[in-house]
Chain A
Amino acid sequence: MSTGEPLLTIDGLSVSLPGPAGPVPVIKQLDLRVDAGEIVGIAGESGSGKSLTALTLLNLLPPGAVVGGSIRFDGQDLLSLDRRGWQGVRGSGISMVFQDSTAALHPMLTIGRQLTEHIRAGLGLGRAAARTRATELLDQMRIPHPDRALRAYPHQFSGGMRQRVAIAIALACRPRLLIADEPTTALDVTVQAGILALLEEQRRESGLAVLFITHDLGVLSALTRRAYIFYAGRVMESGGTADLLTAPAHPYTAALLGARPHGLSAQRTLRAIPGAPVLPDQLLPGCPFEPRCTFAEDSCRSGPPPQVPTTSGRTLACVVAPDLTGEPVVNR
């Protein structure tokens, strides 16, 4: 990889899935970048295209999906890869952890079997060497008694432990990028804290880059330095996480923050976002958030808002926000 080039660059990505009335666009004009050794967040409501973006990066989309734009990973153009090419990327280049660790692990095979199978296939190690590597991985994941754990079945572990095993499998072939799709959503806060610490440790010690998908803005704030706020298959706002969450410029980011329980801050009523997210087959000519937005103007309905860079280093897709929040736009 040439220096200076990001590890992952998504440029103008669009994804359409087949629907009863022709293809339905679910991701529209997505630009996203992940540098090596960086933890980047994606946040948004369900149906905003977060998980679909992850699946696109591993070529796991359902049959009939149409993908446009470009995805460059580690100097390769992912969208031009054939079956063999993808095998070289999955696992050792990009790997993924899902929300439901129970479904990610085979219930009838031991942890050791699932882990070593992956290591032997990906790294080409022998049985004994693979076993050593597996023990080492479980130890890194802070699973007590790794030797014993290798002989155990998934149901013998708690949810948090299973998720650690799933992460161990994902990291087995030393990928450069880990996609974590809501890996802690089903877990207790105490267990979640452990998983977040683990990911940060992997980033610091092995230079792992992580694309972390979540709907919990607290997690987003704690773990990621840069983030993308998704809505209806588009990026509404992106930039430094602390920046986005403490001074949101886009009305949607602000609305998401308002709907969130504030933990330790003063008790108050949660503000739900009015209405429901637009469905992918509801084609709106303008901004997808316009029907739910309290600041919507006529200009919001005329066309999709362009993504414009602001002086604080963000990208913002909103026509009214610059005037609303005083966020100055570059080259307006």
Chain B
Amino acid sequence: MTALTIEQVEVSYRARGRGSVRAVAGVDLQVAAGEVVGLVGESGCGKSSLARVAAGLTAPTAGRILIGDTPVAPVGWRRRPAALTRLQMIFQDPGGSLNPRRTIESQLLDGIPADLTGSARTERLVQLLERVGMSDDARRHYPHQFSGGQRQRLAIARALATEPEIIIADEPVTALDASAQAQVVSLLLSLVRELDVGLLFISHDLALVHEIADRTAVMYLGKIVEQAPTRALMAAPRHPYTRALVEAIPQISAHPNLPNVLRGEVPDPAQVPSGCRFRPRCAHARAICLTEPQLREVPGGLVSCHRVEEIAAENGVTELSVAKRSVTESSVTGEIAMEASE
């Protein structure tokens, strides 16, 4: 069952002096129940704009969002229909999403459905805390009395209180330490599997998305450029941008190399390059790239690149192996010719 459907969504902002900025330029994405979908991309690519629209925090300029079969209406001044609490969001900063002046208990009780009454509410509260690995006496404390990782777990408990069908997590562990990251990520993963919740996991950290997501979509300048099962996407990225992202992850190795440098910067979304939007930074760009590629089906995924097949043939190998990664092109930004030492 599809828990969340994003259909042809566009988001535009009007910026003074820059005209209209299309932060999201037509995105289709589905998240099934019990599935984790990763959404990755550099800052400014529109991931968070998409998350906010999907959660109904802002209205899309075009397209629509469905939770199950129900369209999401943007949050207004009036109270949100109970049905729409089926979607919950987890933000990057749990310090900002929990009220500093209320106890954990009072905040969690807010989310527990009103048809539970009396001691059943408290029971549910204790259950929720247990579910996220917090002890029972956490309920009497205030958010500042917890560490960042614990606060994020409490934010997850609060999201779970309404028994949602879909959770959107926008960079939920970016602010945490590696060990706390591991805790929160494994918690999210086990919850998704046990409760059959859909999870849209937004992050700029590919390595992390690799640990958690079943399927991953890569976003660049407001568009999805590649979508595939995570493992395949990471092992054999097809789109040159995905490849650049994967190669930029520093690896632990006995013969370390500096990660590859992608030339240039993400362009201003108000001045999207003509044709393929990755063209100015792409080492494989040719004349055909002056026309805009569409997201099309290739074996095992979706890619928007005219030259996927040619690039794969040029590289000779489609599998990207870390140990044998050989970097010979000197990159424009780094100009460090790195020789593969293996």
Contacts and interface: CB of A to CB of B under 8 A. Distances in A.
B231 A267 contact: yes
A181 interface: no
A117 B304 CA distance: 48
Given A188-B42, A263-B251, A197 B258 contact: yes
Interface string B250-284: 11111111111110011000000000000000000
B170 to A, nearest CB: 15
Given A193-B260, A223-B258, A218 B248 contact: no
Contacts of A242: 253-256
Interface string A188-226: 111111101110110000000000000111110111000
A267 B189 CA distance: 13
Contacts of A270: 181-182, 185-186, 211
A222 B333 contact: no
Contacts of A161: 265
A272 B182 contact: yes
A260 interface: yes
Given A159-B43, A221-B253, A242-B254, A189 B259 contact: yes
Interface in B321-342: 322, 331, 333-336
B253 A267 contact: no
Given A45-B177, A45-B178, A188-B43, A221 B186 contact: no
B43 A196 contact: no
A191 B245 CA distance: 10
Given A142-B333, A261-B205, A241 B256 contact: yes
Interface in A25-48: 45-46
B252 A257 contact: yes
B333 A197 contact: yes
Interface in B194-252: 204-208, 210-211, 230-231, 234-235, 244-246, 248-252
A246 interface: yes
A329 interface: no
A276 interface: yes
A259 B181 CA distance: 8
A271 B182 contact: yes
Chain B interface size, under 10 / 10 to 19 / 20 to 34 / 35 or more:
35 or more
SS class of chain B's interface: helix, strand, loop or mixed? loop
A198 B258 CA distance: 10
A221 B258 contact: no
A201 B185 CA distance: 36
Given A193-B334, A273-B179, A222 B147 contact: no
Nearest to B249: A263
B320 A215 contact: no
Given A222-B256, A264-B235, A264-B320, A194 B178 contact: no
Given A242-B255, A273-B179, A261 B244 contact: no
B107 interface: no
A269 B334 contact: no
B183 interface: yes
B111 interface: no
B180 interface: yes
A158 B205 contact: no
A43 to B, nearest CB: 9
Nearest to B235: A264
Given A188-B43, A197-B258, A264 B249 contact: yes
Most buried by B among A142, A197, A241, A268: A197
Nearest to A246: B254
A245 B331 CA distance: 27
Interface of A is mostly: helix
Nearest to B266: A158
Contacts of A148: none
Interface in A247-274: 255-257, 259-265, 267-273
A160 interface: yes
A215 B148 CA distance: 16
A191 B181 CA distance: 22
Contacts of B205: 189, 261
Contacts of B234: 263-264
Scoring B183, B208, B257, B259 by chain A CB atoms within 10 A of each residue's CB, the highest score goes to: B259
B44 interface: yes
Given A161-B265, A221-B250, A197 B182 contact: no
Contacts of B256: 221-222, 241-242
A215 B174 CA distance: 12
Contact of B333 (A194, A217, A265): A194
Contacts of B230: 267
A205 B42 CA distance: 30
A201 B334 contact: yes
Contacts of A259: 178-179, 181-182
A263 B147 contact: no
11 contacts: A192-B259, A194-B333, A218-B252, A242-B253, A257-B252, A259-B179, A261-B205, A261-B208, A264-B246, A267-B231, A276-B147
Given A194-B333, A200-B258, A260-B252, 18 more contacts: A189-B249, A190-B245, A191-B265, A193-B260, A193-B262, A194-B262, A196-B258, A197-B336, A201-B335, A221-B250, A221-B256, A223-B258, A245-B252, A256-B178, A261-B208, A261-B211, A262-B211, A267-B231
